[in-house]
Amino acid sequence: MSHDDFQTEPVRGLPERLPVGEQILWQGSPSWWSLTVQSLSLYWVAGYFVFLFAWRTIGGAATETWMQSATTASFFLALGAIVCLILMAIGYIQAKSTVYTLTNRRVAMRIGAALTITLNLPFRQIQNATLARAKNGTGTIALEMAEQSGTRLSYLNTWPHVRPWKMKNTQPALRCIPEAAKVAELLAEAAETAVSEPVITRVSMADAVAAE
């Protein structure tokens, strides 16, 4: 019998139902292949083992035939294939367990394969958003949090859903999402509308009189 670890979610990707007036504008997940290539450096790892194979083959050819040397060095190719398959499995699991949600009031990120957490990032706490696009059409939208928001995120706890190498001031990011340009435009429009809305705070009559 199949089992869904997130079947208890009242709304997919969210720990609770949306408040009145809040609507989901977009939901998506990372491209598992792009996430593996970018966050786990798949090509660099594969290239490293190919280099070891070539280095061992050339070095061994001084004392044995090229065929014998290449056969001996093929160990590095086999080991590299195993490592790359492991990285691909990690990237796939990370992508499939992630749900990014954009509403008319916030960005929510359900992240984590083993330990799942949900980040709620209201537009009023987001100071800036940057888009980095890849040639294959996917892209990453990094969110710079305002200092006065008091939001401090751990780089390690939120990796790989962060802007790479921004460790001091961690920027949560929608990593490797398809049609990133369209999502960025939708986010910009929603944030502009939400921030322009007046904030109404209820106070008691006694506090209002005391403030005069």
pTM: 0.82
The winner for highest mean pLDDT among 39-53, 124-138, 158-172 is 39-53
Residue 148 has pLDDT above 80, yes or no: no
- In this prediction, residue 197 carries a pLDDT of 66
Confidence of residue 80 (pLDDT cuts 50, 70, 90): very high
Residue 31 has pLDDT above 90, yes or no: yes
**Poorest-confidence range of 6-20, 31-45, 82-96, 121-135?**
6-20
| Cα(206)–Cα(91) distance, integer angstroms | 57
- In this prediction, residue 7 carries a pLDDT of 57
| Cα(95)–Cα(176) distance, integer angstroms | 9
Confidence of residue 150 (pLDDT cuts 50, 70, 90): low
Domain positions in the chain = 111-196
Q: In Å, how far are 12, 118, 199 from 172, measured between CA atoms? A: 20, 12, 25
Q: Are 62 and 142 in contact (CB under 8 A)?
A: no
Q: Are 134 and 39 in contact (CB under 8 A)?
A: no
Q: Are 147 and 135 in contact (CB under 8 A)?
A: no
Residue 200 has pLDDT above 70, yes or no: no
Q: What is the dihedral of CA 29, 35, 36, 41, to 10 degrees?
A: -170
